[in-house]
A = this chain, B = another copy of it.
Amino acid sequence: MATVNGAAHYVAVDWGTSSFRLWLIGRDGTVLAERRSGEGMTTAAKTGFEAVLKSHLDAISAPDDLPVIACGMAGARQGWVEAGYLDTPAALADIVHAAVPVPGIDRDVRILPGLAQRDTTAADVMRGEETQLLGAGEILSSGDHLVCMPGTHSKWVRVSQGVATGFSTFMTGELFDAISKHTILSHTVGDGGAFDGTHPAFVEAVAQIADNPALATNRLFSVRAGQLLHALPATDGKARLSGTLIGVEIAGALSTVSAGGGICLVASGSLGALYQAAFSAFNLDPILIDADDAVRHGLASAARTLWPL
């Protein structure tokens, strides 16, 4: 462990609302150690951000002078230290220069800011995803791109020549959760099992909503009616709910951009596969960038600027 830590360069932390991920990164850029837990902002706001960070640093025997770069909700107003927002249009390379140091502690800890779009008719914010954009930098540094970052609050970002020019958030993941649990659909989808992007009910739901996105809140009810009239199985209902919400997200995001430029999908695992399937229904074939890699690369980019070797 002494050898490992002697080779350490910095610690990177992706601190979300409900998740905490930490990497100990070596001077050669390799991952020397990794920690994952559920101590996101919601938990850490109660137990203390410094205590949560310290427990993980202790667990990997991180030297006291090792600096830490963090992104995500740790920088929110309800987080550890408010790290503010960079306003759009924002050059991705400028994000690191707005990093905010955590005051009153011995270690050098910096938190990256979010991005804000202050336009009153399309006000929007992100926190964490800007670091993924930074991590996808090579692809995004030239040309025009539309970047889809699915999740609880999916972000769609327009990036031109390495500058985030504007973005839109869609409440897809959170709506899926709230509708599944807290509406009449809970009776229909509650017992549903796992499904993937090849599930016919998912594919059909995406295609239907692509055809007429205005019917979103009607298509949701059809999940319930399908169960009552045609004994639609719970898993089919769940797939249909998901396809409707992802479909209206994609239709909405595409409606705001003119043609031209490629689409990047920044996602991991099964969610990435689900969105790829949904894109297929729109006859689109985005470039896939792994979201876990992207956030780590973004933190690495910031760390190398702040603490050059």
Interface residues, chain A, CB within 8 Å of chain B?
77, 116-118, 120-125, 153, 168-172, 174-175, 178-179, 181-184, 208, 212-218, 220-222, 224-226, 228-230, 245, 248-249, 251-253, 255-256
User: Contacts of A120 on B, CB cut-off 8 Å?
Assistant: 226, 230
Q: Once the chains bind, are A221 and B153 in contact (CB under 8 Å)?
A: yes
Q: How far apart are the CA atoms of A255 and B171 in the complex, in Å? A: 23
New contact pairs (18) apart from A120-B226, A212-B256, CB-CB < 8 Å: A116-B229, A121-B208, A123-B228, A125-B224, A170-B221, A174-B183, A175-B179, A212-B255, A213-B214, A213-B216, A214-B248, A214-B251, A215-B255, A215-B256, A216-B216, A216-B248, A217-B252, A218-B252
Chain B residue at minimal CB-CB distance from A154: B217
- Docked CA distance A181–B224 (Å): 21
* Cα–Cα, bound, A230→B120 (Å): 8
Contact in complex: B184, A174 (CB < 8 Å): yes
Contact of A225 among B125, B215, B225, B228 (CB under 8 A): B125
B residues less than 8 Å from A226 (CB atoms)? 120, 123
Q: Count the copies.
A: 2
In the complex the two chains form, what is the Cα distance from A215 to B124 in whole Å? Answer: 13
Residue of B nearest to A232 (CB): B123
Q: Which residues of B sit under 8 angstroms from A184, Cβ to Cβ?
A: 153, 171, 174
State in angstroms the CA–CA spacing of A78 and B181 once bound together.
19
Contact residues in B for A168 (Cβ distance below 8 Å): 215, 218
The listed residue with most B CB atoms (<10 A of its CB), out of A175, A217, A230, A248, is A217
CA of A256 to CA of B220, assembled, Å: 16
Docked CA distance A249–B221 (Å): 12
Cross-chain contact B183 with A255 (CB below 8 angstroms): no
Check B221–A245 contact: CB distance below 8 A.
Answer: no
Is B222 a contact partner of A122 (Cβ separation < 8 A)? yes
Q: Is the CB of A218 within 8 A of B123?
A: no
Question: How far, in whole Å, are A125 and B228 apart by their CA atoms in the complex?
Answer: 8
30 contacts between A and B (CB under 8 A): A120-B226, A120-B230, A121-B208, A123-B222, A123-B230, A124-B225, A125-B228, A153-B184, A170-B221, A171-B183, A171-B184, A171-B217, A172-B217, A175-B179, A175-B220, A178-B178, A178-B179, A178-B182, A178-B183, A182-B182, A212-B256, A213-B214, A213-B216, A214-B252, A216-B216, A216-B217, A216-B248, A217-B245, A217-B249, A218-B249
Find chain B residues with CB under 8 A from A169 CB: 218, 221-222, 225
